[in-house]
Structure 1
């Protein structure tokens, strides 16, 4: 009985996340890498809604990536009360040097309630940072 329950649970977990598509060698691939406990998703590419929040595939050259980043802040004082609050931010990264067939990664962190996002190459070098103050709120 326990084995059956474990198999059902495992099957339900694997069904949640579909398989990633194969990268197109004519495009640049950007992995979206959240920290544990945070949510970071691909939201828009060049102003148009992007359907899969786990990655971007972009034409070589200049592109604008919009990310949706969620993190938790501790409560206490202020308008949020004592319970932790989940904050959602929309952040934009612009980079004009995307190359076909290359892999990139986007990361975001909350440092002292100041969200930050970076675009990194496959060697971990920072290529771009979000340019404008992110649009954030408890939504």
Structure 2
């Protein structure tokens, strides 16, 4: 197997994973907090896990009230070829998720510096990721 074929395997795996969750978004459970994702056009932000437990759907988080650590993956497209793609990971912890509330993880970048901030339904910032760990994709 050549190097190009090896690089395609992770991309094909991601496409397969995303196609499995391409259905309609489920309704928010009023007994849990709902966390949506907002990404920039140059990246794909995915929900990875809650408190170390892998999620089935990378489009959102839903959590019981209280403290949780949310881990996200950010896939940043390069300038046109897959060799420039970056796969990044980061986590954010928040101690006051409330049942029935809606939150958003909002991606932002400045050059090659990536951040995600947690906002409440009114757009107030509640926290942010420290640093993304990025590796070439």
Please indicate, yes or no, whether the TM-score normalized by the shorter chain is above 0.5. yes
1:118–1:130: 8 Å Cα contact kept in structure 2? yes
Q: Does 1:56 align with 2:54?
A: no
Query: 5+ residue gaps in structure 1?
Result: 1-14, 76-81
Number of residue equivalences: 118
1:32–1:55: 8 Å Cα contact kept in structure 2? yes
1:117–1:129: 8 Å Cα contact kept in structure 2? yes
Query: 5+ residue gaps in structure 2?
Result: 1-19
**Post-superposition shift, 1:74?**
4.7
**Post-superposition shift, 1:72?**
2.9
CA offsets 1:54-77 (integer angstroms, 9 cap, x no match): 1000011100000001113459xx
The structure with more radius of gyration: 1
**Distance in 2 (alpha carbons) for counterparts of 1:113 and 1:93:** 19
**Post-superposition shift, 1:89?**
0.6
- TM superposition outliers: structure 1 runs of 4+ over 4 Å: none
Number of the residue aligned with 1:47: 52
Number of the residue aligned with 2:115: 116
> Once superposed, what is the RMSD of the aligned Cα atoms?
2.1
Matches within 5 A, 1:96-111: 96-111=95-110
SS in 1 for 2:85: strand
TM-score by length of 2: 0.78
Which of 108, 133, 136 aligns to 2:134? It is 136
2:21–2:58: 8 Å Cα contact kept in structure 1? no
**Distance in 1 (alpha carbons) for counterparts of 2:52 and 2:21:** 27
15-24 or 93-102: which moved more? 15-24
TM-score by length of 1: 0.77
